Structure 1
Amino acid sequence: MSIRKVVFPVAGLGTRFLPATKVIPKEMLPVVDKPLMQYAVEEALAAGITDFIFITARGKGVIEDHFDKAYELETELARRGKDDMLERVTDFMPEGTTSIFIRQQEALGLGHAVLCARAAVGNEPFAVVLPDDLIAGNGRNVMQQMVDVYDRQQGSVVAVERVPKDQTDRYGIVETGELQERVAPLTSIVEKPKPAAAPSNLAVVGRYILTPRIFELLQNTRTGAGNEIQLTDAISALLAEESIYSYEFDGTRYDCGNKLGYLQATLNYGIRHAEVGEAFREYLDGWNNSRDS
C-alpha cells in the first residue's frame, strides 16, 4: 500500500523553551516566517500524504487553528488586495486532504502518542513525523526519500544519522547489517544506551514509516526509559517479526527541541529565505567584519 497517513505526536510540554512555550506550543515556534508544524506538514504533503493525524494535548488548540480557515483575516486581506499574503494563509491544506486531532490524555511517551492514532490509521502503513526535528533535504525532502525506500523494501523504515559517540544516551540507537545506497537492514535497536554500551553511533531521528502491526506491540509494551511507553521498544519487538530498515537520509537535521538547534535552523533558513536572505547575509557579513576589526 502507498503511504497515505502521517501521525504528528505534538502533545509535549516544550519545557526547554519556557517561558516562550507557556502559552505557545513549541511546534508553533517560527523559523523565519513559518512555524515548525507547518514545515512538517509541507514535508508530508510533498511526499504524497493526504491524511494528517495530530496527537495533541490541553493547550495545543492553536495548532488546529493554524490549519483551519481564518475567515476574518482572509476577508480583510482580500478586501485590501493583498493577494500574496492571502495565498500564504490559505494554501496550507490542499483539497483532498483530511486532518484529525486526537487528545493524548496522559503524557505517557512517544509510543503511547503513536498508539493514540490507532483507530485513525487503521490497518495500513503510516508515517510518523516529529516536527521539532526540522530536516532540510538535498533536492527531495526526507519523507519523500523514505517513501521511496518503503516502496522498494515493503517494510518499516526509520531515519538515522550518525551522532557523536558521547551522545548516544540521548537517542534510540540502532545496529545494522550491510549498508547499500543509504539503506541497511536493522538487527537491533535500543533506547538511550550509555556510550560504553551503545551498539553504534547511528541514532534514530524524528522520521518513521511503520506497518500497522506496531499498534498491537505498543498495546503490550511496558513502560521503559523515563517510565514512558517507548516507541523504540515496540520497534525492537516488531524486528522479531518483520524486516525493518534504517535509512541514512540525504539532508541536514536541526534539532529544534533545544535552543541551539533552533537558533541554527533560524540562521540557515534565514540566509536562504527568498524575501530576506540576501539582506540577512549582508547583515551577518557586516557583523562578522565589525567583530574582526
Structure 2
Amino acid sequence: MVRRIRKAVFPVAGLGTRFLPATKAIPKEMLTVVDRPVIQHVVDEAREAGIEHFVFVTGRNKQVIEDHFDKSFELDTTLAARSKTAALDELKRDLPAAGATSFTRQQEPLGLGHAVWCARDIVGDEPFALLLPDMLHLAKPGAKGCIAAMIEAYNETGGNFVAGYEVPDSETHQYGIIGKGKPAAGGAYEIGEMVEKPPKGTAPSNVAISGRYILQPEIFRILETQERGAGGEIQLTDGMLKLKSQQPFFGFTFDGEIHDTGTKLGFLTANLAYALRREELSGPLRQEIARLKV
C-alpha cells in the first residue's frame, strides 16, 4: 500500500551570500518575486498538492520566515479599519491552519543532507515531500504544479522520486545529475545513476535534479551516519544513492519553467516570468521592456 504524502520539508537555513548586501538582514527566501516572497511561492506549490504540514529547517536570523506564516493582528486590524478587504482576504488565504507549520534549527551549515536530517523527529516514520525554495517551478497555465504531479505519479508506483530537468552538458558539473532508465507509470522513469556535481565530462546524462523530491523515511537513518561528501558537506545525493540500493527510485520531468532564484540572473528572470503571467502586469511590463530597448 502506498502511503500518502502529508508533510513537506523546506530547507531555509542558507545564508544567501550571493545576494549580499540585500540578505544581510533579510533571508534570501523572503526576497520577493513580483509581490510574494520566494518561500511563499514554494509553499503555494505544496498546498496545491494537498500538503497538510509544512516543516521549515531554519538557521540564525530566519525569524521573519516564521513571522510571515503567522497571523499579524496589528496588520489585520489596520487593513480592516481601512476597508482594504482584498488585501485582508489574500492574507487570510495564505495563512496556514493553526498547528500546520513547524520550525526546527540547522545549527551548522553542514549541507542539504544534514538539513533534511534535522527534520527527522517532525516528519516521523512517513514519506514526505522535499522542496528547495531556491528553485521555483512555474507550471504551464492550467497545469498542475511540480510536486502535485509528482505525488500523482508516486501514488501509482510508491518508492522515492526526484524531479529533473535538462541543463547544458557544459554545466553538469554544477548540479546533482541523474541517469534516465526505462519508463515507469505516471510519466516517471527509473533512475539509473545519481551523481553529485560530477567532474566535467563524466556525467551520466544532462538531467539535473531540480529541487523537488519525494522520500521515504528510511533516508533519515542513512543521513544520520552519512559521511561528508562534495564540498565537505553531508550530501543528500549520497544518502539517496544508499537508499536506492534498498528501494525503488524514479525520476520525473517537470513540464514547465524552472527558475533558480539562488542566482541573480535566475532571480531576475523569475520576476519577469511570474509578472508576465499576471494579467494586470503583462501588457505594461512588455511596454516597459520595449521602452528600455533590450
Q: CA deviation at 1:83?
A: 0.2
Query: Within the alignment, does 1:186 sit opposite 2:201 as a pair?
Result: no
Specify the alignment match of 2:276 in structure 1: 271
SS of residue paired to 2:204: coil
Q: Which residue of 2 aligns with 1:214?
A: 219
Corresponding residue for residue 169 of structure 1: 173
Matches within 5 A, 1:189-200: 189-200=194-205
Once the two structures are superposed, what CA deviation does each residue of 1:213-259 show, in whole Å capped at 9, x if it has no partner? 10111112100001110000000001100000010111110010000
1:42 matched residue in structure 2: 44
Percent identity, aligned pairs only, is 48
Q: Does 1:82 align with 2:87?
A: no
Query: Offset of 1:284 from its aligned partner?
Result: 1.9
Q: 2: distance between equivalents of 1:98 and 1:149?
A: 25
1:232 aligns with 2:234: no
* Range with greater deviation from structure 2 (55-64 or 131-140): 131-140
- Counterpart secondary structure, 1:177: strand
- What is residue 64 of structure 1 aligned with on the other side? 66
Quote the Cα distance in structure 1 between the aligned partners of 2:98 and 2:69: 14
- Secondary structure of the 2:226 match is coil
What's the CA shift string for 1:95-150, capped at 9, x where partnerless?
37610000111110000000000000011000000111011012110011110111
Per the TM alignment, residue 90 of structure 1 is displaced from its structure 2 partner at its CA by 2.2
Q: Secondary structure of the equivalent of 1:54?
A: strand
The residue number in structure 2 matching 1:15 is: 17
1:202 aligns with 2:207: yes
How far apart are residue 179 of structure 1 and its match?
3.5
Mapped to 1, the partners of 2:282 and 2:37 lie a distance apart of: 18
Shift of 1:94: 4.3
Deviates more, 1:29-38 or 1:266-275: 266-275
Partners of 1:209 and 1:244 in 2: how far apart? 10
Residue 126 (structure 1) aligned with residue 128 (structure 2):
yes
Over aligned residues, Cα RMSD in angstroms? 1.3
C-alpha contact 2:10 2:130 (8 A) present in aligned 1: yes
Q: TM-score, normalised by structure 1?
A: 0.95
Contact kept, 8 Å, 2:138 with 2:258, in 1: the verdict is: yes
Within 1, Cα distance between the matches of 2:285 and 2:110? 42
Which piece of structure 1 moves more, 176-185 or 204-213? Answer: 176-185
The code of the aligned residue for 1:158 comes to V
Equivalent pair of 1:188/1:239 in contact (CA under 8 Å)? no
Q: Deviations over 1:245-287 (max 9, x none)?
A: 0101111100100000001111111122233222212222333
The match for 1:283 among 277, 281, 288 is 288
Tell me the distance in 2 between the aligned counterparts of 1:168 and 1:221: 24
What secondary structure, in the 3-state scheme, does the structure 2 residue paired with 1:197 have?
Answer: coil
1:247 aligns with 2:252: yes
SS of structure 2 residue aligned to 1:123: coil
- Single out whichever of 26-35 and 82-91 deviates more from structure 2: 82-91
CA distance in 1, matches of 2:274, 2:173: 29
Cα distance in structure 2, aligned partners of 1:285 and 1:168: 34
SS of 1:101's equivalent in the other structure is: strand
| Unmatched runs of 5 consecutive residues or more in structure 2 | none
Q: Give 1:74-153 correspondences, 5 Å limit.
A: 74-95=76-97, 98-138=100-140, 139-153=143-157
Partners of 2:170 and 2:99 lie apart in 1 by 42
Residues 23-67 of structure 1 deviation map (CA, whole Å, 9 limit, x = unaligned): 111100000100000001110000000100000001000000101
Alignment-derived partner of residue 4 in structure 1: 6
Mapped to 2, the partners of 1:271 and 1:137 lie a distance apart of 13
* Structure 1 residues not aligned, in runs of 5+: none
Task: Return the offset for 1:92.
Answer: 1.4
Instruction: Point out the more displaced range, 199-208 or 276-285.
Output: 276-285
How high is the TM-score relative to the length of structure 2?
0.95
